[in-house]
Homo-oligomer: A and B are copies of this chain.
Amino acid sequence: MATSTGMRGRTSGNLGGRPALTSAHRLAEVAQELFLTKGFAETTIADITAAAGVSQRTFFRYFTTKADVLWVETSAEQARLQALLDAAPPEEPYHEVLYRAIPAALHHPPEEHTWALHRAQLLLTAPAVQAQAAARYAEWRASVTRFAAARLDSPPDDLLPTAVGAAALTATLTAHEYWITHPTDDLPTLLERLLQLLIPRPDGSPSGAT
């Protein structure tokens, strides 16, 4: 499964060859700061590369798309989720695993909260970013779908695991969306409540709305 990040990362092993002038992280950092001051659409690649001191061509060697700089962190979160799902005890009900694992995978230390909030605002409002979003979301959802299918002992393209994956994804997105309009709310709490509201449970237990 080629996780298909939009990054074209330069080779990591530095045994020979010209040393890199910059890095994906550095470019993403510079870019995100410009996005916050000028807005995503108003920031050009020329702005970013000028600030970073490299040529435009170099930018596109690190990222396939301008929007891709916003998704640097995503693969790490994706990997955390996958690891948490793999490590979950088999006897734990699948919905409880998800209530626990998804907020945990998205957890960031307090000092990154404003960064995470800014990122969420950019991810959910800039149209060009949405184009890349679908592919990332698909991986997130697929992890949950596979997990649910395994727990339900059904093929992953059955409707129920599909629904569980879709619910997990939309809970994640809705929580962030709600969060950016209510920034004082606690994201993990929002996440857990939405997961409880949205994830279907096969045992006929009540949905968590009250």
Query: What are the residues of chain B within 8 A of A15 when measuring CB–CB?
Result: none
Query: What are the residues of chain B within 8 A of A82 when measuring CB–CB?
Result: none
Q: With an 8 A cutoff between CB atoms, is A110 at the interface? A: no
Query: What are the residues of chain B within 8 A of A38 when measuring CB–CB?
Result: none
Interface size class of A (residues with CB under 8 A): 35 or more
A182 and chain B: residue at smallest CB distance: B157
From known contacts A167-B198, A170-B169, infer whether A206 and B208 are also in contact, taking CB-CB under 8 Å: no
In A18-55, which residues have CB < 8 Å from any B CB? none
Binds B, one of A69-77, A84-92, A96-104, A128-136: A128-136
Q: With an 8 A cutoff between CB atoms, is A106 at the interface? A: no
Q: Which 3 A-B pairs have the closest CB atoms?
A: A204-B206, A170-B170, A131-B131
Chain A residues with CB under 8 Å of chain B are 124, 127-135, 157, 159-160, 162-163, 166-167, 169-171, 173-174, 178, 181-182, 190, 193-194, 197-198, 200-202, 204-210
